[in-house]
Amino acid sequence: MAAGIAASRFPWETSALVRDELAIVICNRSAAYLAAGDAVAALVDADAVIQLKRPWSKGHFRKAKALLALGKLQDARESAALGLQFEPDSAELSSFVRDIDAQISKLKSIP
């Protein structure tokens, strides 16, 4: 419902405001889908967030988490690393990349 409200703002309101508000709502919905166990819907919403607000690291983080839940470690790492390009000081993203790197290293060490 919140996404519908954000998308139906009055025409005289700036499109940047609409985009920002819609990105936040869809980003939160992505997190909710992931928490409910629907990683595919979470990924779709995260991609929509990135389309609306590409330089926002939170969208890339949501995408990385959804990809990780789908078992796509390398894609998740790439998405998180892209988010770090927009927000290099993000402790959350840095920690996430380190965790993924550890998982990738662990998988590579399995014969």
Residue pointed to by tokens 């919403």 = 45
pLDDT tens figures, 19-35:
788 899 999 999 999 99
- pLDDT of 21: 83
CB-CB contact of 92 with 61 (8 Å): yes
Mean pLDDT within 8-17: 56
Measured between alpha carbons, how far is residue 96 from residues 60, 61, 83, 100, 108 in Å?
A: 12, 9, 11, 6, 18
Q: Is a pLDDT exceeding 70 seen at residue 2?
A: no
Residues 58-93 have pLDDT tens digits of 999 999 999 999 999 999 999 999 999 999 999 999
Q: Domains of the chain, with CATH numbers?
A: 2-109 (1.25.40.10)
Q: Is pLDDT above 70 for 16?
A: no
Query: What pTM did the predictor assign?
Result: 0.83
Q: What is the pLDDT of residue 17?
A: 58
